[in-house]
């Protein structure tokens, strides 16, 4: 057919439903568990429940190897990560996997387009900064979405 601009690796790709994903984290506040980050509700959140010091992480297990080329992170408060690294791997908690994106965090929506589609089962987001203001800003994420376009 006509058209174009799509990614050949993404053709026919179906991602597992968010309801089948599982989440783990280096730490979580009991009221804000990892599952809140993929519940489809931007008003709920996952949170560490402690001040950002660097080294905190959140991992999403898709339950199967997925192919994706876009990751969207959403937060809407001051609890955004101060600096982050995003990785995709077939190994749980693989902090040696190639970094797909590394940047300073901001509040709001962060869309991370990947130069090429990547495959893996575990998406790991690591908070590597510290809260320089010295206040008690936790690290929270409201929603994580992925796509293969």
Handedness of CA 72, 149, 147, 43 (dihedral sign): positive
What pLDDT sits at residue 2? 39
What pLDDT sits at residue 3? 42
- For the whole model, what pTM was predicted? 0.91
The rounded distance, in Å, linking the Cα atoms of 136 and 67 is 37
Average pLDDT over residues 115-138: 86
């Amino acid at each position: 057919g006509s058209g174009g601009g799509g990614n050949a690796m993404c053709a026919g790709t179906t991602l597992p439903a968010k309801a089948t994903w599982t989440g783990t984290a280096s730490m979580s506040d009991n009221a804000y568990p990892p599952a809140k980050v993929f519940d489809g509700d931007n008003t709920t959140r996952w949170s560490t429940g402690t001040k950002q010091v660097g080294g905190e992480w959140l991992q999403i297990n898709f339950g199967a190897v997925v192919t994706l080329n876009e990751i969207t992170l959403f937060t809407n408060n001051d609890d955004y990560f101060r600096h982050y690294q995003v990785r995709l791997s077939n190994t749980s908690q693989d902090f040696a996997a190639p970094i797909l994106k590394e940047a300073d965090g901001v509040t709001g929506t962060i869309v991370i387009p990947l130069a090429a589609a990547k495959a893996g089962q575990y998406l790991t987001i690591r908070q590597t900064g510290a809260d320089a203001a010295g206040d008690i800003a936790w690290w929270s994420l409201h929603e994580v979405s992925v796509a293969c376009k």
